[in-house]
Amino acid sequence: MIQIIAAALAGLTFGAGIILSGMANPAKILNFFDVAGTFDPSLAFVMVGAVVVTAIGYRLTFARSAPILDPTFHLPTVSAIDLKLVLGSTIFGIGWGISGFCPGGAVPALGLGRSEPAVFLAAMIAGMALTRALQAQLATATQPRKTLAANVRAKA
C-alpha cells in the first residue's frame, strides 16, 4: 500500500510541476520551438532545472544499495543506439513539434478540461498499438517456415 501512495504522490508532484512550468500548454511549447518567430526561451530553464534535479537525484539514489520501497533497482538493460531508438525519438520530436504535447505534458493537461490532450493521447495510443501490431507481423514474417518435406520428416 505504501508503494501505491508513494507512486500517487510522485505522480501528483510531477503533474503539478508540468502544469506550473507551462509544459502542459501547447502554445508555450510551440513558441519555444518557433525560433524564427514568437520564440519563448523560458522552457529551456525548465529543462535545465529538470536535468539538474535529476542529476542530483540519481547521485543520491544510486549511493544507496537498493531503493527505499523495492529490493532492487530496475534499470534498462539495453544501451545500444539502434534504428528503433532513432526512429522513435524522431517521431516523438515531430509529434511534439506539431501538437505541442508530449505524453508527460498531455496527461496532466487532461485535468484542464480541454479536448486537445485527449485527442493527442488517443492518437498516441493508436500509434503504439499499430507499431506493436506491425512489429508482431514483421517478427512472424521473418521466422523461418517449415517446408512440407520438413513437416513430413518431423512426423515420421
Q: What is the mean pLDDT of residues 22-46?
A: 90
**pLDDT interval class at 142 (50, 70, 90):** confident
Determine the straight-line distance between the first and last CA of the chain, rounded to whole angstroms: 56
The whole model's pTM is what? 0.71
Average pLDDT across the chain, whole number = 89
Residue 31: CB atoms within 10 A of its CB come to 19
Query: Does position 152 have pLDDT exceeding 80, yes or no?
Result: no
**Residues near 38 by beta carbon (within 8 Å), at least 6 away in sequence:** 31
| Number of domains forming the structure of the chain | 1
Q: pLDDT-based confidence at 106, cuts 50/70/90? A: very high
Which parts of the chain are beta strand (E)? none
In the predicted model, is pLDDT for residue 71 greater than 70?
Answer: yes
What is the domain extent for residue 39? 2-155
Q: Under a CB-based contact definition with an 8 Å cutoff, are residues 18 and 111 in contact? A: no
- Number of Cβ within 10 Å of residue 101's Cβ equals 25
For residues 20 and 107, the answer to whether their CB atoms sit within 8 Å is no
| CB-facing half-sphere around the CA of 101: CA atoms within 13 A | 19
Please check the confidence at residue 22 and state whether its pLDDT lies above 70. yes
Give mean pLDDT, residues 132-154: 75
Q: Give the pLDDT band (50/70/90) at residue 132.
A: very high
Give the pLDDT band of residue 138 (cuts 50, 70, 90). Answer: confident
- The cell 538493460 sits on which residue? 77
Q: Are 39 and 32 in contact (CB under 8 A)?
A: yes
